[in-house]
Amino acid sequence: MRRLAATALVLFATAALAQDAVTPQHFEALAEGRTLHFNLDGQPFGSEHFLPGRRSIWRFAEGGCQQGRWWDEADRICFAYDNGGGPQCWRFLPRPGGFAAALVENGAETGFVLELGHTDTTPLDCPGPDVGS
């Protein structure tokens, strides 16, 4: 599993070094079938499991799952979830040993940045009707 995470991080870093942001094609190649775990200020923030067809399931570190979908807009990856909130767009940027996701609003980065902690292929623990893969 560590080997998969290391391979994913190298894929993102290599793809992103040639440009400012990770392309949607590289994002999809890394994410589909995997769970990406994000940290904020070194602490677990949440995880997202990526399903075929640009669908996903987000789970905050303290629990609570939401089904969603993602799409690309220029150099951003945007998400909409079943909770009805408006779309959120992120710019995935290279970092030493991985990448960061910077929230974008009105075309500009907000300063809210999540760091990729690790990746794996374990689905999220999201019990309940209509949640899960």
Domain locations in the chain as residue ranges: 2-119
27-44 burial, b at 16+ Cβ within 10 Å, e below that, comes to beebbeebbbbbbeeeee
Strand-pair partners of 57: 49, 67
**Predicted TM-score (pTM) of this structure:** 0.79
**Interatomic CA distance for residues 59 and 124, integer angstroms:** 7
- Among 3.40.50, 2.60.40, 2.60.120, 2.40.128, name the CATH number for the domain at 2-119: 2.40.128
Q: Radius of gyration of the chain from Cα atoms?
A: 14
The CA-based angle 85-90-95, given to 5 degrees, is 150
- Give the three-state DSSP class for 11: helix
Tokens of 123: 């689905």
Q: How many CA atoms lie within 13 A of 41 on its CB side?
A: 2
Indicate the DSSP class of residue 27: H
Tokens of 34: 């995997």
pLDDT in tens, 50-100: 999 999 999 999 988 999 999 999 889 999 999 877 899 999 998 887 789
pLDDT in tens, 24-48: 888 898 899 999 999 999 999 999 9
